[in-house]
Amino acid sequence: MVGIVLASHGDLAQGIKQTASMVFGDQPDVVSVSLQPSMGPDDLRAEIEKEVATLSDQEQVLFLVDLWGGTPFNQINGLLDGHPTWAAVTGMNLPMVITAYTLRMNPEATAHEIATGLIQESRDGVRVKPESLEPEAPKAVEAAPTHPTGSIPEGTVLGDGHIKFVLCRVDTRLLHGQVATTWTKQTGPDRIIVVSDAVSHDELRKTMIQQAAPPGVKAHVVPIQKMIDVAKDPRFGATKAMLLFETPQDLLKCIEGGVDIKKVNLGSMAHSVGKVVVTNAIAMDQADVECLETLAAKGVEFDVRKVPADSPENFDSMMKKAKSELAAQA
């Protein structure tokens, strides 16, 4: 695995490392180096060399640095000359770090390949609100669409006629950083669909979700019946969708309506009055326990974790703990 060194003036590198762990989970072979006011260039270079020596693979090292021409970059640049397999990218930001984590999950990836893949993603992470302030991008020559565009006549069959679910997730927060970055990069959807009767009638939440979509992926908010209809419509046969449910109850309604969902990621179920905490992200009441048991009886497989880097929780142990603690508080 490619080792990553985050380097900056002050504590920026350590702060980004901590923030990235909240989104992606703790990562091995990632170190941070900070230039403090009391340090000189030689001190920083020695610190960089010390941290690189802790990495598992010292042949493949990627440096993510705050500023081109600054002291951290200059010291790293001096080290690159003797290490042709190392690479450095400046302009470090959170999207860049998260993308680097994602790309190095490929065990064959090199530091140079990851560095090449970071540039556009880092730029796409810089956005502005209101959108009218966004500079106009140069117009690219558009390739011919591979599928019909605009209104597609009813009865048209695209692909094999069956929508593909790259991820089905229960998450009280729906579309947020962990979903928009790590899960989206891991699963590669072309649409994110929030399935909720409540949210579909809340214009403010709908707008916020649509604006939170990562670059290149469309976000939609639909009521449960609409999702049931879409799942049966052959016009969506070329669609790769990530489905997000606010509650397991919404998921159950969808499955009972005929949507073929075999595996579900339990990411987050927020605590509220009457619920018991069973993991650091999952809280349940009796209705949740009964709903999840019904889903399991229908053959649904559960993957209980917040981000791909986490080790999955044991579903049966989690359910046993929920029942025990609910019985104790009754």
Domain boundaries, the chain: 3-124, 164-329
> Which pair of structure tokens corresponds to residue 238?
């070329």
Q: Active-site residue 9, yes or no?
A: yes
CB 158 within 8 A of CB 148: yes
In one-letter notation, the amino acid at residue 91 is G
Cis ω for the linkage preceding 153 (within 30 of 0): no
- pLDDT of the residue at 190: 93
- pLDDT of the residue at 134: 81
Compute the C-alpha angle 263/268/272, nearest 5°: 135
> Class for domain 3-124, per CATH?
alpha beta
- Residues of the chain with confidence (pLDDT) below 70: 137-151
- pLDDT of the residue at 284: 95
H and E: helices and strands count for the chain: 13, 12
For 216, left (φ over 0), alpha (ψ -120 to 50), or beta?
left
- Among the options 112, 162, 176, 271, which is catalytic? 176
- pLDDT of the residue at 2: 96
- pLDDT of the residue at 126: 82
Report which DSSP code applies to 295: H
- Among the options 9, 83, 112, 162, which is catalytic? 9
Q: Active-site residue 271, yes or no?
A: no
Report pLDDT digits (tens) over 310-323. Answer: 899 999 999 999 99
- The topology (CATH level 3) of 164-329 is Fructose Permease (3.40.35)
Cα 188 to Cα 41, 251, 256: the distances in Å are 42, 21, 26
DSSP string, 104-138: TTSTT--HHHHHHHHHHHHHHT---SSGGGSPPPP
